[in-house]
Structure formats: structure tokens, C-alpha cells
């Protein structure tokens, strides 16, 4: 059984979803225009530009909601329960949101229209129990029955069982061991903390403290209904053969459990002190950690266990930062964002508006450039562990995240800044030049780029029993590499040997069907929509075989309604590649690739423009309940609420004014 687009269950495959009518269809202007398709596109674009301009903050930035799944809301309530600061108003607002996301079969999914997820359903259920929902209520009974049928708590992921262990709903002894002494492993040694991606190391270091302390707060209620056998809710995972990597790491975990009993107490105390120092040194100016919610949650728990009072400035700032992740809705519900994306949203909005024909010195663009220039990161962060001699330069994703600038944002911000006629060109030039230098310095050995780190490709972290959820390393990806190549081409560096090496890497990464895998967006549509414009910007002709194969693939997966869509299930099932209900952002990605490939007059492009016209809302926006962003492929999906605006505006602008490869003078 899989899920239909409305969240109900049914036997629906990728091709059935691919022709589903878009929720916004029929709300916008007519698909035909007596003056031709360009007039239609111009009218649609003008309305969208007006809407996007109205959403700019007075300070110059844009930020759409970043929607993930209800584990963020559940874990926020569990943190407050653990710290003793949960209040009824916050609890009820969170519960209202969680209840609204429950599916008819009693489960919660991790993305719109996706299948029920065991761990997400368990955490959502516990959150509603905290809010006072009784186990016997119909919606709760449906959820608990579904959980038991799929193995109960014992079959859930490690992170879910950690949360339950905090309240005695699971035994710490039945969890993988994560010793704080890990912080002492040198950077050349396997499984040192810098072998993990930045988001993972920020989470793992505080969790080593939690694992060492094994705290248990008094549970406010029992959770027997979530266990198959409440009397013996032990591990459900059998030991793998010793000849397999899983078997090796399972036995390593057994050894670490034994070490806990015999290891040096003095060393353990020193490791806890140094872990505490590591955590505090990485707290951002706004009180958060890395600009993302999960490390902040675990860091607060760790520091509390190490004796930090709730009124300590570090704790107080951390708790205040978490409140800024809350989005209060008109119905009184409260959604927690896992992260906030103002830099990313602002550079994409700037590119969109410029490519749509806004004058390069338009006040909105200049204001956006001013804000982005103020967000440049000019000090070293964790990336300098691998690149100690590299001067800083670049941008992060969030409002405050100086420790972890990323290559993707840096490339797109540089592209955005070059589209603006700024009143201080020397300042802008300097920022972009520093970004180019830093980006070149962050290139991996094979010529590609990852998001945050260099050559972060160790095969070992993903093998740990502790790491059974999401990506914990940061390997290079086609989408990030493509954005860098596009930026380098805009800077006239397309013939630089380092850029040519990246182009060769991209060509080698093309899938047999002509698409490219998308690491940070869903999925092959995102990868292909990123790579083809980059290759065209770098000088590959539209006749190049790689570009022709990409065009053929895009045409083959276009939906009957004229749009494109791709479901998150494509990360697990090949049949879903390029298949799903049409969305505005994914249609725009396909359009960007086709336009860059010289296909402006093709029937596929005309049908796509018509689909965007038909589905545009009265206010100039598009509806998009589907999740087209990716945190961890399959495990953690994202609905960037501004994607539905910035990408269609960019694509329509390039349809009207050109390919966007060279900034337009006005």
C-alpha cells in the first residue's frame, strides 16, 4: 500500500500520480492568449513578480516557511518536558498542528502524500499524549495499532528511542553506545568527528554527553500500547554475520558497552568537559547551533546534564533561539521549522526578479544585495580543520551560522550579486572574489563540490548502529557542483583547469537515462535542472550528447497536463524517477534545463508555460503542498514554501528575456 496525493492510502504507483490534477489548477489565467504564448508568459510573470516583491522584508531579505514533518514539533515538546518548561498554551498549539497532519489510517508521513512512517508516528503519538489526548480516543487507537503492527517502538530508529529513553520508555542499555571520548580521535583516524557531515557532528557531540549520562526523567504516563510486548520491549534487530560490515560495527558497539564499565573515569570526565567546551564554542550569536533545530535541542539537553542552569546565558540564549523556529498559523497552531533559509531564499529571489526583467538597480534588488553583503562570513569555521590555510569567504544558509558556510549558498549568492548594479561595486566585487577563492579551495579531489566540507566521504560513519537515520556524511553532489560551475562561468573562469575538471566530473555523473541525481532537491528533476544550465553556461553547445540525452529524458517524463513532478520515493524506487504530480518548482526546473538546451520553441516548453499559467493563483503565487526539497534523501524531506515562487519566476523570465547566463543591462 502506498499513499495517494491527499494522504489516504491506496495502491497508487508513480505513473498514476504523474497525471494527478494540480491543486491550484484552474485558479489562474486562461492557458491561451490571443496575442500568443509570450504575452501569456509576460502576464503570468508580471503577477508573480508583484507577489514576490511584496514578500520582501524591509531589511532586504526573503524567507519562506521551511516545512518538514511533525517530529520537529514532537521533539520540541519533549525537550520542554525534559527541561521542565513545557506550558499548556505551547503544548496545545503544537498538538493542534500535529493532529492536523495525521492521516486517515492513523499515521504520520514525512512528506505530503507519502506513506506512514513508524518513527514519525511514534513521536507524534507521544506529543499528543503530552497534550492530553487519551489512548482510547479513535485517532490515538488507530495510531497505536498501526505502530504495533509494524513492530512497535523496538522497530523504530535510534533517535526516536533516545527520546523515549529520556523518560524511561526505553532502556539506555538497549541503545547503541556513543562515548564522549570520540572527541579525542585525531582527524586522520577513522570515525573522528570530522569524518561526519557538519550537521551530524553538531548532533553527535552533544549526544555523546547524553549517552554518557543516561538520564531518566519521571515519565508522565506509560506507553505500553506502543510495544508489542510491554513486558519485554527489547531490541528487535538481530546480530549480523561477523563477516559483514554491519556485523563488525555491531560487535564494536558491544565492545563500547563493555568499555563503559571498565574505562577510565578520569578520561570520561575530561571528555565530557571538552565536549562541553566544543559545544559552547560553536553556539552562534543568536543562541542557536548551526542555524538548525536538532543540534540546538541536543546541545541544550547535554549542557543541562553537565550542570548548566536554565538561567545561564548559554542556556537562555539557546532556548530563546528555539522560539524563533516557531511559525504561528492563523488557526492558532504552531509549526516548528527545522531550519530557516533567508540567505538561500534571498539569493534565489534576487536571481528570479533580475531574470524576469527587473532593472538591475531596482531598489528591491539593491536592498537585497546590501543584506547579502552584510551576511558574508569572514572568519574560519569547522571547514578550516581540513583547509587550515584557506582564507574565509562565503555565505551560510541561515540568519546566523558563521561556523558552517556552504558552497551551494556561496555560488548562488555570487550569481545573485552579479545581477545587481550596486552603489558600491568595489565592495560587491571584493565579496564575490573572496567567494570564488574560497570555493576553489573547497573543491574535492575528484573535481566536484559537496555542500559544507572537502572530501567528507568516509564509508564508516554510515555503518555505525547509531546512524540509522539520514545521511551523516557530506559527499559531493551534481547539483552543488553544477551551481559552482555556473558561478565560475559567470566570473569568466569556465576555462580554468579546476572548472574543466568539475565539468568532466558532471559529465561522468550523468545517469544512463540522461538525468542527474539531485542530492538537495527532489530529485532527478532537480539534478538535471541544475546541471544543464551550468553546462550551457560553461560553453557546452546544445548539440552536446549529454545535453541531448537530458532533453530526451525530460521530454519523456513530462506529465500529460504539461507540468513535471517527482515524488520523494524516487530516492528509493527507480520507477519514481521523474514521476509525480506536477508542481510549480519542478516544472520550472525542467523548463530551466530545456531553455538552456535551446528548446525554447519546443512543444514541451509551450505546454509547461501553459501549465504554469493555468495553475497560477489569483494573487500571483502557486500552490505547492508537495515536498520538493531534500534534507536527507528519503529520510528527511522539505517543502520550501518560496520554491513555488522563485523558480517559476526565474524560468518564465528566461523564457521571455533569455537564458540568464549573462546579467541583462537595462
Please answer whether residues 91 and 103 qualify as being in contact, where contact means their C-beta atoms are separated by less than 8 angstroms: no
Contact 9, 1 (CB under 8 A): yes
Q: Which of 528, 538, 507, 508 is nearest to 594 (CA)?
A: 528
Report in angstroms the alpha-carbon separations of 482 from 4, 448, 450, 479, 523: 33, 9, 11, 5, 14
The H helix count followed by the E strand count for the chain is 23, 7
What cell was used for 589? 526546473
For residues 154 and 150, what is the distance between their CA atoms, to the nearest angstrom? 10
In this structure, are residues 551 and 599 in contact, taking their beta carbons and an 8 Å threshold?
yes
Which residue among 73, 382, 408, 409 is the active-site one?
Answer: 408
Largest CA distance in the chain: 82
Dihedral angle at the C-alpha atoms of 193, 194, 197, 202, nearest 10 degrees?
Answer: 50
Residues paired with residue 9 on neighbouring β-strands, in sequence order: 3
6, three cell numbers: 491527499
Question: What residues form DSSP beta bridges with 632?
Answer: 636
Residue 157: how many other CB atoms lie within 10 Å: 18
Q: Is 455 a catalytic residue?
A: no
Between the two ends of the chain, the Cα-to-Cα distance in Å is 54
The closest alpha carbon to 600, from 549, 519, 658, 543, belongs to 658
Angle between helices 478-490 and 497-509 (to 10 degrees): 140
The alpha carbon dihedral of 100, 106, 112, 113 has a sign of negative
Residues recognised as catalytic? 408
Amino acid at each position: 500500500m502506498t499513499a495517494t496525493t491527499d494522504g489516504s492510502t491506496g495502491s497508487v504507483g508513480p505513473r498514476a500520480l504523474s497525471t494527478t490534477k494540480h491543486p491550484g489548477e484552474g485558479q489562474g489565467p486562461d492557458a491561451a492568449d490571443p496575442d500568443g504564448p509570450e504575452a501569456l508568459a509576460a502576464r503570468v510573470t508580471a503577477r508573480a513578480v508583484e507577489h514576490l516583491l511584496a514578500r520582501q522584508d524591509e531589511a532586504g531579505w526573503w524567507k519562506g516557511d521551511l516545512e518538514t514533518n511533525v517530529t520537529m514539533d514532537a521533539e520540541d515538546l519533549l525537550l520542554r518536558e525534559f527541561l521542565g518548561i513545557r506550558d499548556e498554551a505551547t503544548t496545545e498549539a503544537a498538538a493542534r498542528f500535529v493532529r492536523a497532519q495525521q492521516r486517515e489510517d492513523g499515521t504520520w508521513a514525512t512528506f505530503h502524500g507519502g506513506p506512514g512512517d513508524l518513527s514519525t508516528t511514534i513521536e507524534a503519538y507521544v506529543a499528543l499524549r503530552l497534550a492530553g489526548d487519551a489512548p482510547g480516543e479513535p485517532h490515538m487507537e488507530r495510531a497505536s495499532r498501526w505502530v504495533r503492527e509494524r513492530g512497535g517502538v523496538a522497530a523504530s530508529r535510534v533517535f526516536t528511542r533516545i527520546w523515549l529513553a529520556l523518560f524511561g520508555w526505553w532502556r539506555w542499555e538497549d541503545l547503541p553506545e556513543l562515548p564522549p571520548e570520540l572527541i579525542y580521535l585525531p582527524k586522520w583516524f577513522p570515525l573522528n568527528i570530522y569524518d561526519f557531515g557538519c550537521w551530524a557532528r553538531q548532533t553527535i557531540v552533544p549526544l555523546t554527553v547524553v549517552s554518557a549520562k543516561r538520564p531518566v526523567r519521571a515519565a508522565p504516563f506509560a506507553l505500553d500500547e506502543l510495544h508489542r510486548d510491554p513486558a519485554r520491549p527489547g531490541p528487535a534487530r538481530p546480530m549480523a554475520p561477523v563477516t559483514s560490515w554491519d556485523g563488525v560495527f555491531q560487535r564494536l558497539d558491544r565492545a563500547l558497552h563493555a568499555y563503559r564499565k571498565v574505562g577510565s573515569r578520569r578520561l570520561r570526565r575530561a571528555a565530557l568537559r571538552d565536549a562541553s567546551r566544543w559545544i559552547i564554542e560553536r553556539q552562534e550569536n543568536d543562541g542557536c547551533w548551526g542555524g538548525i533545530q536538532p543540534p540546538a535541542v541536543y546541545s541544550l539537553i547535554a549542557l543541562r546534564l553537565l550542570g548548566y542552569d536554565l538561567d545561564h546565558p548559554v542556556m537562555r540564549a539557546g532556548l530563546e533561539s528555539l522560539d524563533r523556529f516557531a511559525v504561528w498559523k492563523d488557526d492558532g497552531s504552531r509549526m516548528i521549522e527545522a531550519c530557516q533559509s533567508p540567505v538561500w531564499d534571498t539569493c534565489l529571489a534576487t536571481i528570479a526578479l533580475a531574470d524576469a526583467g527587473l532593472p538591475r538597480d531596482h531598489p528591491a534588488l539593491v536592498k537585497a544585495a546590501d543584506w547579502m553583503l552584510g551576511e558574508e562570513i569572514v572568519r574560519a569555521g569547522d571547514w578550516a580543520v581540513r583547509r587550515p590555510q584557506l582564507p574565509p569567504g562565503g555565505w551560510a544558509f541561515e540568519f546566523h551560522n558563521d561556523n558552517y558556510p556552504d558552497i551551494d549558498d556561496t555560488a548562488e549568492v555570487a550569481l545573485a550579486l552579479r545581477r545587481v548594479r550596486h552603489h558600491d561595486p568595489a565592495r560587491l566585487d571584493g565579496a564575490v572574489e573572496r567567494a570564488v577563492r574560497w570555493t576553489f579551495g573547497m573543491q574535492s579531489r575528484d573535481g566536484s563540490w559537496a555542500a559544507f566540507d572537502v572530501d567528507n566521504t568516509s564509508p564508516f560513519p554510515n555503518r555505525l548502529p547509531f546512524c540509522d537515520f539520514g545521511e551523516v556524511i557530506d559527499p559531493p553532489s551534481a547539483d552543488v557542483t553544477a551551481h559552482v560551475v555556473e558561478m565560475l562561468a559567470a566570473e569568466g573562469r569556465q576555462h580554468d583547469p579546476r572548472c574543466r575538471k568539475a565539468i568532466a566530473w558532471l559529465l561522468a555523473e550523468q545517469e544512463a537515462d540522461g538525468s542527474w541525481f539531485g542530492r538537495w532537491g527532489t530529485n532527478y528533476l532537480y539534478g538535471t535542472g541544475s546541471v544543464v544550465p551550468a553546462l550551457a553556461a560553461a560553453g557546452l553547445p546544445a548539440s552536446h550528447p549529454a545535453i541531448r540525452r537530458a532533453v530526451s529524458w525530460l521530454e519523456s517524463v513530462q506529465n500529460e497536463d504539461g507540468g513535471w513532478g517527482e515524488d520523494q520515493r524516487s530516492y528509493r524506487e527507480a520507477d519514481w524517477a521523474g514521476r509525480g504530480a506536477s508542481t510549480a518548482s519542478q516544472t520550472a526546473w525542467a523548463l530551466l534545463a530545456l531553455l538552456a538546451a535551446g528548446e525554447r520553441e519546443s512543444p514541451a516548453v509551450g505546454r509547461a508555460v501553459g501549465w504554469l499559467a493555468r495553475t497560477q493563483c489569483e494573487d500571483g503565487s502557486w500552490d505547492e503542498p508537495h515536498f520538493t526539497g531534500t534534507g536527507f534523501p528519503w529520510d528527511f524531506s522539505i517543502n520550501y514554501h518560496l520554491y513555488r515562487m522563485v523558480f517559476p519566476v526565474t524560468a518564465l523570465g528566461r523564457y521571455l528575456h533569455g537564458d540568464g547566463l549573462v546579467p541583462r543591462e537595462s
